Amino acid sequence: MMRAFLVVMDSVGCGGAPDAAAFGDEGANTLGHIAAECAAGRAEEGRSGPLRMPNLDALGLGAAIRLATGAAAPRLAAVPKGRWGAATEVSRGKDTPSGHWELAGVPVPWDWTYFPDRVPAFPADLVAEVCRLAGVSGILGNCHASGTEIIDRFGAQHLRTGWPICYTSADSVFQIAAHEEVFGLERLVKLCADIAPRLHAMKVGRAIARPFVGTEGDFHRTGNRRDFAIPPPAPTLLDVVAGAGRATHAIGKIGDIFSHRGISTLWKGKDDAALFEHLDRLVDVAEEGSLTFANFVEFDSNFGHRRDVSGYARQLEWFDARLGGFLARLRAGDLAIFTADHGNDPTWRGTEHTRERVPVVCAGVGAGEIGLCDFVDVGASVAAHLGLRIEKGRSFL
């Protein structure tokens, strides 16, 4: 019996989405633009020179970028030794749940609710309910903001008043930041869990607990984030594999994204380095017939949203270097697919995700071009490799 490893490099898009203009993202290309900035010597903080990703490029990463956009990415030009292609999303969003659900075989059948980019951003009745649940007389923020900027702006006031910091973004999210020690981590998580059903009824995708610690001038977020997402509207790849009596291992945000459905074991960590330790261990011990589904978030959270090209390039190179040991320990018959859920071009305007195609590169199933495929084809291919079938998509294996 075979094993499968589905690894999502969060936000590592490769441009070329046919509907990008409808999202204001025509021309966005996360990987291509990072490679170009590196080649031009404009991504020199903590690294230097052209973008180096020899392991993924050998599997077909550069070829996938060329396929998606028609343009080459500097220094990503290896002759592919793996299966490679680029996938296009049909769900009407460029967010984490949409991308992951569709990769797992379930396109989103509704339009998400987004909060307007104004102050206040949230309706008064929602604010009142947050206050009631938290036992406070007001909230801070009530706006669009980045997670690090918002705690710098309101952290000290939060400590004085005890009011939670509530904010959103261009994604369908309602985020609550609070101090782990002063407000309390359990209290914050409970508040998000309690408000989540109301948000889900509004078709807001996620309520997110964003704990932080520190003192004024030195606030920083912790690794105890919790997402409360709308459950997928149909059985996903995880449900199908678990329903067949197979083991399913979720690394990182996967448990939260899929509302912990169809998951045998969940492996969390404070950062991507800790998550890679889980992936390295599971390639040695995961059961025959199992699925390991991983999300590596720091490309997106630490560098894409912050428009940090050098940092994003460093993270790509770190990930690729770590990948060498993992690939060497795959067993005969294993399938490993490396892909993404959306883009987040750090050279782009604003701070939000970008609508892009995503690379699909595969190890363990020979070489050859997949071509342009759909997100759901990724899930269908994993299922087929495991001798199973999901409702949507077709296998490219």
Which parts are annotated binding residues? 10, 300, 305, 341-342, 353
Distance CA 348, CA 45 (A): 19
Q: Which two tokens stand for residue 18?
A: 């046919």
- Report CA-CA distances (Å) from 347 to 89, 191, 213, 267, 344: 22, 36, 30, 32, 9
DSSP per-residue codes, 314-363: HHHHHHHHHHHHHHHTPPTT-EEEEE-SSB--TTSSSSS-B--BEEEEEE
Most distant CA pair in the chain, distance: 62
- Report CA-CA distances (Å) from 328 to 229, 280, 288, 321, 336: 35, 11, 18, 12, 12
Residues flagged as binding site for Mn(2+): 10, 300, 305, 341-342, 353
| Type of residue found at 88 | T
CA angle, 119 then 121 then 126, to 5°: 130
3-state SS, one letter per residue, for 368-384:
EEEEEEEHHHHHHHHHH
Cβ atoms of residues 84 and 360 within 8 Å: yes
Q: Exposed (0-12), middle (13-18) or buried (19+): which is 48, by Cβ within 10 Å?
A: exposed
Distance CA 327, CA 132 (A): 51
Distance CA 375, CA 366 (A): 21
Phi, psi of 102 (to 5 degrees): -70, -40
Distance CA 93, CA 95 (A): 6
Cα–Cα nearest to 264, from 292, 222, 225, 224: 292
Q: What is the DSSP letter of 269?
A: -
